[in-house]
Structure 1
Amino acid sequence: MSSSVSSTLKIAPKDPGGQKLARPGGFAKYYIKYDLISRATARNNNVAPQIELNLGGLNLGDQNFGLVCDGLLKLLDADAIELEELRLEENALTTAGLAFLSQVIRKSNHHLKDLSLASNNIKVKSPREIQQWSDFLSSFRNSTCLHRLDLSSNPLGDTAIEVLCRIYANEPPLMLFNNTPQHSFDSSDAVVFEQVVVDEEEVADEREQYANSPESIIPIEPGFFQSSSQVSQNTSISLSRMQGIRSIPYIILSSTNLTDISALFFIHIIPIHPISTKLLTYLPPQKHPFEQPTNTPCNGIHYLPNPSISEFARKVLAAHETIRDPRLRRRTSSITSLQSTIDNHIYCSETCNDLKPDRAKVKLESMILDKSGISATQLWKASISTLCLSRIFLSLSTSHRHKQAWEIIVSKTVKNFHVLDPIQREKIFEWAGDRETLKVEKSWCGKKCHVQEWKFLNSTGTLGYDMTRLPSRSSSDADI
C-alpha cells in the first residue's frame, strides 16, 4: 500500500481565501472544505492526504472558526484527510472557539502532531469558560502523537492551570517502552515511569468494566513488570498507553498571565512529567520539530516568561525541575542557595521531609494562603466549604444512615464540590465527624489564620491534586 501524501494548505490574510474567511455568512467553511477536497481527490483515492493547515493571522473569531471546524469535521468523518498540523495564531479565539476545536481534536487524535493557539484571547474565569476549557483539555485524552501544544500569549490566568492540573491528575500514569513501538507489546521492554498501587478488587472491577474500551487504561496483572520495576507479586498497576496530556512533550504556556498560584500547580506536575526528549522517542517523527530553548530551566512544560510569577516561585519551580532530571542542575541555581531564601519559620515543618524543594513548596503554599486566602484555588475553597457544612450537618446526625444522607446534601450544596477526589471527600467528612479534631483545631488557636488553614488542608490532603492516585473512570469530562 502506498504511503500517505503530505499536502500543505496555507491561507494568508491577503489571499482571496483569507478575505473570504474574514467575512460572515459561511465562506470560511466552504472555501476550506472544497479546497481540501480538491487536493484530496487530486491524489491517490485510496490514500488520505496528510494536511498541514495554517490559518494564522486571519482574525477569524469564534463564529467563523466554527464554520471552519464544521467543514473539517465533515472531511475527517469521511476519512478524506489526516490533519497533522493546525496553526491558529492570531485569530481572536476564546474558549467558545475551543468548543468547536475540541470536536476536531477528538477526530484527529491519532494524527495531529502540532497545534498552535498562540496569541489569541483565551481566558478562563467564568463558569462557562471553565467548562469549555475543561472540555478542550479533555479532548486530548486519546491523543497519541501530539508533539506540541502552544497556548502562549493568551490571557489564560491561574484558574486555567488549576483545571489543567486537575485533568492531568485524572489521567492514568504512562507506560513507556524501551525502544519498542506502541503496537509491539513486550513486557520485558516495559518501563513504568510512575507506579500506582491499588486494591486488587478495585482493579478487577475496573478490568471487567473497561476491558473492551479503546479509551480504557490498561490494568496490569500482579508481577507483570517484575523484572523492570520490581513490583511486588501482591500489587497491581494501572497504566496508560502513550496518550493524553501526560504524553505531550512540549506544552507552551509562556506569557499567559500566570502568578505564584499557577506555580504551585506546576510543582505537582513537573516532577512526574517525563522530560521532552524521553517522550519524543515514543512518538512518530515530525516534519518541523520544536526546538527546545537552552536558556531556560523549563523542560517540556514552558511556563516562562510570566512576569507575575515571583522570583521565589521561579526558584522553587527550578528546584523541582531537578527532581525529575538531575542533569538540569547545571541550568538552575543550586538548591542550597534556594534554601537560603526560605525563612527559618516554616509552617508545619514537622510534616515536611528533609527535601529542600518540599520545604520551599510549604513556604510557597503558606505565602499564597496569607496573600490570597482559600479563594486562591477552587480546591481550597471547596475543601473549607465542605468542612463547614459537614460539621454542621454531621453534628446533627445520630446514625450512619443519617450521616450518609447529610453527605449527599453537602455534595449537592458546596460549589465546585466535584473538584475534590473521592479520597479527599472522605477525609474531610471523617475530619468533620470526628470530635477529636475539635481539640486539634483548638490547639491551633493563636496561630495566624492562614497557618490554621494550611494545617487543615495538609491534614486532609487537599493542598493539591494527587497525581499518583488511580483515576476514576466513572466521572465524565463535565465533572472534571
Structure 2
Amino acid sequence: MVKSNKFDYTGRTSSGPKLGKSIASDLEKRADKKQREAIRSLSSAPRFTLHKLDLKVPGKSLTDEGFALLADGLQNAFTTCRDLALVDLNLSDNHLTTRSLARLAPLIQASQYTLQTLDLSHNNFHVSTDKQAEEWQLFLQSFRSCMTLRRLDLSDNPSLGCRAFEILARVYSREPAVDPEPATGNHSLITLPDSCSILSHSSLDATHSTNTKDPSLSTCANGKTLADAWLLKHRCGLRSIPYLTLTNVGLDDTGALFLSYVLEQHYYPIQLVTENNATEASSSIRTYRQDANTKGIDWDKNSDSLSKDGLHLLQCAEKLRMKMLLGDSDSMTSSFMSAGFPDAPDTSPRAAFGVGLRRSSLLSVQSMDYSMFDKSDIQSARKKIQRNTIGHAGCESVDLWRASLAAIIASRKVFLLAPVFKTNNTACSLLEENEHSVVSSQNKDGHADQVDINQLIDVPVTDERFKHSLSSLSLHSGPLDFEDGQSKRSYAATLMTTSPVDSMSPEPTTPDGIPVSHTKILRTSASSRGHSTSFGGNSSDGSQKSEGFVNAEGYVRFQQNRMEKLKAYHKGESDGYRDVSLRCHLPLPVCLEILRLSMSPVDLSHLGVDKQKKAFTWGQKRETLKSGHDWRMKDESAQLLMLLSGAGCVEY
C-alpha cells in the first residue's frame, strides 16, 4: 500500500470552518491526481494499489460547520477515486456535536473495509433530545458492517448522558454475534510485524503472487480470496471492536446499568484482534502493545458521576465477563488480564507468545470468588439501580420502559373492550345438524327461497354438543381455559364458526334496513340449469353442484385447510382469524397493527417486534390481573419494575 499521509494538520495555524474547507480541497485534489495516475497505468500490468489516508485534525475547533465541509470533500474524493482508503481519522477536540456524528455515518459505511482507528475524544457530544438520540443511533448503526475497526475513542465527553448508553445497548443487542478467536494464544494476536501488516504494500503483493496460482479464485480488497477462513467468520459491527474507550464520559448509574449489558457480552482484545485489524509492531500507541493490561472496554475515570451501586454493578459485570468469556481453563489468557510477572521460565510456544505476561493460574483465586461471579449478584445489583431510576426519574427517563408501558396500556384497553358473547349466539352446530345448515332451499316450482340465517343460529345446543363441535373446529390441541363460574361457551366459539371464507377479498356492504334478496340470482341459476337440460344435459348434475356448494362439512374443511396454511405462514402464532391464548382472541398480527396505530413509530422502534409481542401478550393475560392485585401493597417503583419484568421488557 502506498502511504499518503500528507493529511496531518496538527501543526496548521488555521482552524475552524476555514480549515475544514481547505482540507476538503486537498482531499479532492489528491483524488483527482490518483485517478489520473490510475488511468495512465491502465496500459501496464494491473496492480492492486490502495492509497492510505491518515487524516489527523486534532484541536482545530472545526465545529459542525467546518466538519460538514470536510465531510463533503471526503465524500467527493471517494467518488472520484475508489482507490482511496480511509484508515485513521482523528477528530479530537473540535467542538463537535451529534450533528457531526450523523454526517460521519455515511463516511464510516464507505470505509467499512479499511477504517481502523476513529478518535472522537474531547468533543461536545450530548444525547438528551429525540433529535440527538436519532443522530447518535445513526452513528452507532453505521459500524454494523465495519470489518477492520480496531479502536473507537469517545473519551472526555463528560456530557454524553445516560440515554447514549441505552441506545448503545439497544444497537449492540440487535447486532449478530461475532466469531471470536480462540483465547489460547495459538491464533490470536495484538500486533503484527511491519512486513506482515494487512495494510502493507508488500503483504498485498505477496498475497497476490500466491493467488495467481489459482486465477479462478476471487480476490478481495486486502488480497485475500474466498478460500481464506477469515471470510467465513462473522466479525464485524460494534461487537467486533477490540478497543472501546469510554473514560470520563459522565457515566451515571443508569448509564452503567445499560453499559453492563454490553460489558458482559464483549470479547477481550486477545479474542478480537486478528491479522485483519492488527496494528504494526512499531505503533507508538501504548494500548496496542502486547504487554498492555487492557480489558478492551475502558470505562475508567467515571467515579465522580458513579455511585457505589453503579461502580459495584460494573465490577460484577467485569468479573462475570471474565468467567463467561475466558473462564479459568487457560492460565495465560487469565493472566493477560491481570498485571504480574512470570514465576518460572517456560520454553513452550504458548509461553513464547505470552512472554512477560505469564504467571500462576488464577484457578485458586477464582474458585474462592465464584460467589462474585454468580448471575444472581449482577441481577440484584441491576434491580437496585432499576428501582432507584424509576423512583427518582420515572419510567419516562428510559425509552424502553416508557414504550413498554404504552404498549401494555394499549393491550389493557383492548382487553377491557373485548366483548363477551352469550350462549345462544353461537353457531357451533354446523357439523352435527347438516339438515339445518343449508343456506338456501329449492321450492316446488324450482325457485330457490332465501332462509333466514338467524333461524340456524338460534338452534338450542347443549354443552356436550358445543364442546364436540368446538374441539372439531379448533386448531389448538390443548383444552381451552375457562374461568370458574362462567359458561363453557366463549367468544372463540362464535368466531370459530363464523369466519369468512376469504378474509382477504373485500365484500360489498349495504345499508341497514334495506333487504337484499338473492332470489333473482338463484332463479337465474335455476333457469340456466333448466336451459342446459333442454339441450340434453342432466338436471341432477346442477343440483348436486348446488348442494356441494352449500355443504356445511365442505365449508368447515375449507376453513380448516385455510387456517392451517395461515398458521404455517404466521409461524404458529395465529391461524389467521384468532388466537385463543389472548383475551381479545384477535390474531397477533392484528394486535401489532393496533399497536402501530396507537403508538408512535419511535416507540415501536425502541421495542422491536419481539418486545411488542411480549408487551401485548402480557396485557391480555387474565392472571396478570391477580398479579397486579398482589402488588398493591408495594411502592410504585417496585410495582412498575415487577410489571416490566413480567412483560419481559426491562432490558434489551
Alignment TM class, shorter chain as reference = 0.7 to 0.9
Q: Which amino acid aligns with 2:404?
A: S
State the match for 1:153 in structure 2: 156
Q: Distance in 1 between matches of 2:641 and 2:368?
A: 25
Q: Secondary structure at the match of 2:113?
A: coil
5+ residue gaps, structure 1, are 182-213, 215-238, 341-352, 466-480
Q: Establish whether residue 7 from structure 1 lines up as the match of residue 33 from structure 2.
A: no
Q: Can you list the C-alpha shifts for 1:122-154, whole angstroms capped at 9, x where unaligned? A: 111221111111111111111001110011122
In structure 2, which of residues 405, 427, 441 is the aligned counterpart of residue 384 of structure 1? 405
State the match for 1:23 in structure 2: 18
Q: Relative contact order: is structure 1 or structure 2 higher (C-alpha 8 Å, sep ≥ 6)?
A: 1
* Residue range with higher mean Cα deviation, 370-379 or 266-275: 370-379
State the match for 1:74 in structure 2: 76
Q: Which amino acid aligns with 2:54?
A: E
Q: Establish whether residue 452 from structure 1 lines up as the match of residue 445 from structure 2.
A: no
Q: Secondary structure at the match of 2:145?
A: coil
In structure 2, which of residues 591, 594, 597 is the aligned counterpart of residue 409 of structure 1? 594
Q: 1:49 Cα deviation (Å)?
A: 1.4
Q: Is the 8 A contact 1:98 1:132 kept in 2?
A: yes
Q: Which amino acid aligns with 2:594?
A: I
Q: 1:165 Cα deviation (Å)?
A: 0.8
State the match for 2:29 in structure 1: 34
Q: Establish whether residue 361 from structure 1 lines up as the match of residue 382 from structure 2.
A: yes
Q: Which amino acid aligns with 1:301?
A: I
Q: Secondary structure at the match of 2:632?
A: coil
Q: Is the 8 A contact 2:8 2:54 kept in 1?
A: no
In angstroms, what is the RMSD of aligned CA positions?
A: 3.5
Query: Which protein has the larger Cα radius of gyration, Structure 1 or Structure 2?
Result: 2
Q: Is the 8 A contact 1:369 1:450 kept in 2?
A: yes
Structure 1 residues 38 and 251: CA distance shift in structure 2, 3 A: same
5+ residue gaps, structure 2, are 42-46, 189-219, 221-231, 324-333, 340-364, 420-583
Structure 1 residues 293 and 280: CA distance shift in structure 2, 3 A: closer
Where does 1:214-225 land on structure 2 (aligned, <5 Å)? none
Q: Secondary structure at the match of 2:4?
A: strand
Q: Is the 8 A contact 1:95 1:123 kept in 2?
A: yes
Structure 1 residues 393 and 129: CA distance shift in structure 2, 3 A: same
Q: 1:389 Cα deviation (Å)?
A: 2.4
* Residue range with higher mean Cα deviation, 94-103 or 437-446: 94-103
State the match for 2:266 in structure 1: 273
Q: 1:5 Cα deviation (Å)?
A: 1.4
Q: Distance in 2 between matches of 1:320 and 1:101?
A: 31
Q: Establish whether residue 111 from structure 1 lines up as the match of residue 114 from structure 2.
A: yes
Q: Can you list the C-alpha shifts for 1:406-430, whole angstroms capped at 9, x where unaligned? A: 5423334334122113232212111
Q: Is the 8 A contact 2:86 2:115 kept in 1?
A: yes
Q: Is the 8 A contact 1:253 1:302 kept in 2?
A: yes
Structure 1 residues 273 and 82: CA distance shift in structure 2, 3 A: same
Q: Is the 8 A contact 1:40 1:48 kept in 2?
A: no
Q: Establish whether residue 246 from structure 1 lines up as the match of residue 239 from structure 2.
A: yes
Q: Which amino acid aligns with 2:117?
A: D
Q: Is the 8 A contact 1:316 1:338 kept in 2?
A: no
State the match for 1:318 in structure 2: 315
Structure 1 residues 98 and 441: CA distance shift in structure 2, 3 A: same
Number of residue equivalences: 393
**TM-score, structure 2 as length reference:** 0.55
State the match for 1:347 in structure 2: none
Q: Can you list the C-alpha shifts for 1:246-268, whole angstroms capped at 9, x where unaligned? A: 00011111222221111111111
Q: Is the 8 A contact 1:40 1:81 kept in 2?
A: no
State the match for 1:422 in structure 2: 609
Q: Distance in 1 between matches of 2:168 and 2:394?
A: 21
Q: Distance in 2 between matches of 1:395 and 1:297?
A: 58
Structure 1 residues 106 and 242: CA distance shift in structure 2, 3 A: same
Q: Can you list the C-alpha shifts for 1:66-89, whole angstroms capped at 9, x where unaligned? A: 121112122223214111100001
Structure 1 residues 280 and 14: CA distance shift in structure 2, 3 A: closer
Structure 1 residues 445 and 149: CA distance shift in structure 2, 3 A: same
In structure 2, which of residues 49, 58, 61 is the aligned counterpart of residue 59 of structure 1? 61
Q: Distance in 1 between matches of 2:117 and 2:318?
A: 24
Q: 1:298 Cα deviation (Å)?
A: 7.0
